[in-house]
Amino acid sequence: MIITPESKISFDPVSIIVDGKRVFPMMGEMHFSRYPKKYWEEELCKMKAGGIDIVSLYVIWIHHEEIQGEFDFTGDRCLRDFLATVKKCGLYSILRIGPWAHGEARNGGFPDWLLLDAKDKGYEVRTDDPRYLEHVKKFYEKTYEQAKGFFIKDGGPVIGIQIENEYGHVGGKNGEEGEQHMRTLRDMALSIGFDAPLYTATGWGGAVTGGMLPVMGGYCEAPWDPRTTEIEPSGNYIFTKERNDHNIGSDHGLGAGITFDMSKFPFLTAELGGGLQVTHHRRPIATGLDTAAMTMVKMGSGANLLGYYMYHGGTNPKGKLTTLQETKETGYPNDLPAYSYDFNAPLREYGQMEDTYREVRLISSFVHDFGSDMCDMPYVAQPGNPLKPNNLTDIRTSVRCKKRNLADGRECYSGYLFVNNYQRRYKMADHSDVELTAYADNGEVICKFPKRDLKDGDFFFYPFNMPIGDKALLTIDATPVCKLDNYDGKGHSAYVFYTDSDEDTKSDVQGDLDGNNIVTITRKEAVHSTKVNIGGRDYLIVSDGEAVTAADGNVELYFEIVDKCSMKPMFRAFPTLEHTPSSFNRLKEAGKVENFASSDVFAIYEGKNEYTNTTVAAFEAKEKSEESSKYEISVSDMPENSSEVFIHIDYKGCDAEMFRNGDVIADNFYTGQEWEIGLKRFVGSPKDGFSAEMNIRPLKEGMAIYLQNWPELKDGAICKIDKISSLAQFKEVIS
Task: Give tens-digit pLDDT for 67-120.
Answer: 999 999 999 999 999 999 999 999 999 999 999 999 999 999 999 999 999 999
pLDDT, tens digit (0-9, with 9 covering 90-100), for 34-54: 999 999 999 999 999 999 999
Q: CB within 8 A of 436, min separation 6: which ones?
A: 397, 417, 419, 448, 449, 452, 462
pLDDT-derived band of residue 598, with 50, 70 and 90 as boundaries?
Answer: low
> Is the bond preceding 346 in cis, omega lying within 30 degrees of 0?
no
* Confidence label for 239 from pLDDT (cuts 50, 70 and 90): very high
Secondary structure (3-state) at 177: helix
Cβ neighbors of 169 (< 8 A, separation 6 or more) are: 202, 204, 205, 206, 207, 248, 249, 252, 253, 255, 256
| 352 domain-assigned | yes
What per-residue confidence (pLDDT) applies to 214?
Answer: 97
Eight-state DSSP code of residue 237: G
Burial class (CB in 10 A: 0-12, 13-18, 19+), 384: exposed
CB 473 within 8 A of CB 465: yes
- CA angle centred on 16, ends 439 and 157, rounded to 5°: 145
Is residue 671 included in any domain, yes or no? Answer: yes
What is the pTM assigned to this prediction? 0.97
Of the three residues 372, 397, 420, the one that is the final residue of a domain is 372
Query: CA–CA separation, 578 vs 570, rounded Å?
Result: 17
Q: What pLDDT digit, counting tens, does each position of 522-547 carry?
A: 999 999 999 999 998 999 999 999 99
Does residue 665 have a pLDDT over 70? Answer: yes
Whether the Cβ atoms of residue 328 and residue 334 lie closer than 8 Å to each other: yes
For residue 251, what pLDDT band results from cuts at 50, 70 and 90? low
* Rounded average pLDDT over 244-270: 79
Looking at 328, 345, 372, the residue that finishes a domain is: 372
Distance CA 91, CA 40 (A): 13
Mean pLDDT over 332-348 rounds to: 98
Collect all residues with Cβ–Cβ distance below 8 Å to 571 and sequence separation of at least 6.
541, 542, 543, 545, 547, 557, 604, 605, 734
The per-residue pLDDT of the chain, averaged, comes to 96
Which phi and psi angles does 729 have, rounded to 5°? -105, 140
DSSP 361-410: HHHHHHHHHHHHHHTT--EEE-TT--SSTT--SSPEEEEEEEEEE-TTS-
Angle at which helices 79-88 and 130-147 cross, to 10° = 40
pLDDT single digits (tens) 503-515: 788 999 999 999 9
CA separation for the pair 658, 323 (Å, rounded): 16
- How far apart, in whole angstroms, are the C-alpha atoms of residue 501 and residue 390? 26
Minimum mean pLDDT range among 79-83, 317-321, 381-385, 599-603: 599-603
Residue 588 lies in a domain: no
Instruction: Using a pLDDT cut of 90, give the percent of the chain over it.
Output: 93
Residue 261 lies in a domain: yes
For residue 44, give the nearest of 360, 347, 417 by alpha carbon: 347
Per DSSP bridges, beta strands 158-162 and 198-202 are parallel
Burial string for 48-78 (b: 16+ CB within 10 Å, else e) reads: bbbbbbbbbbbbbbbbbbbeeeebbbeebbb
Decide which of 351 and 247 is more confident. 351
Cα 697 to Cα 657: distance, rounded to the nearest angstrom? 9
Q: Which residues contact 4 (CB under 8 A, 6 or more apart)?
A: none
User: Residue 343 has what DSSP assignment?
Assistant: T
Cβ atoms within 10 Å, residue 688: 13
Domain enclosing residue 624, as ranges: 613-733
The CA distances from residue 335 to 226, 279, 330, 573, in Å, are: 11, 6, 10, 47
Q: Give the torsion through C-alpha atoms of 250, 253, 254, 256, to 10 deg.
A: -120
| Domain CATH code at residue 359 | 3.20.20.80
Q: How far is CA 694 from CA 6, 30, 212, 652, in A?
A: 54, 28, 48, 13
**d(C-alpha 337, C-alpha 666), whole Å:** 9
Report the amino acid identity of residue 68: Q
For residue range 720-732, what is the model confidence (pLDDT) as tens digits?
A: 999 999 999 999 9
Element (H, E) at 644: strand 644-652
**Could you check whether the bond before residue 383 is cis, i.e. omega within 30 degrees of 0?**
no
Residue type, 53: D
Is residue 700 predicted with pLDDT exceeding 80?
yes
Q: Is residue 667 part of a domain?
A: yes
Task: Place 245 in a pLDDT band, splitting at 50, 70 and 90.
Answer: confident
Half-sphere exposure of 270 (CA within 13 A, CB side): 26
Instruction: List the alpha helices (DSSP H) in 549-595.
Output: none
Rounded CA gap, 532 and 548, in Å? 8
Residue 472: the pLDDT is 94
For residue 43, give the nearest of 28, 26, 23 by alpha carbon.
28
Alpha helices in 128-283 (DSSP H): 130-147, 175-192
In this prediction, residue 590 carries a pLDDT of 83
637 part of a folded domain = yes
DSSP string, 287-338: -HHHHHHHHHHHHHTT-S-EEEE-SB-EEPPPPSSS--B--GGGT-S----S
Specify the number of domains making up the chain: 2
What pLDDT is recorded for position 599?
Answer: 59
What is the band of 153 on the pLDDT scale with cuts at 50, 70, 90?
very high
Residues 6 or more apart whose Cβ sits within 8 Å of residue 718: 652, 653, 698, 699, 711, 712
Last residue of a domain, which of 372, 404, 423? 372
Q: Nearest-CA neighbor of 342 among 731, 721, 653, 646? A: 646
Report the CATH number that the domain containing residue 693 is assigned in CATH.
2.60.120
Residues 6+ apart with CB under 8 A from 532: 538, 539, 541, 547, 549, 555, 735
Q: Say what angle helices 355-374 and 288-300 make with each other, to 10 degrees.
A: 10
Q: Say if 513 falls within a structural domain.
A: no
Residues 680, 644 contacting (CB under 8 angstroms): yes
Other CB atoms within a 10 A radius of the CB of residue 226 amount to: 13
Q: Can the peptide bond before residue 310 be classed as cis, meaning omega within 30 degrees of 0? A: yes
Is 476 among the domain residues?
no
Q: How far apart are the first and last CA of the chain?
A: 23
Query: Residue 503: its pLDDT value, please?
Result: 77
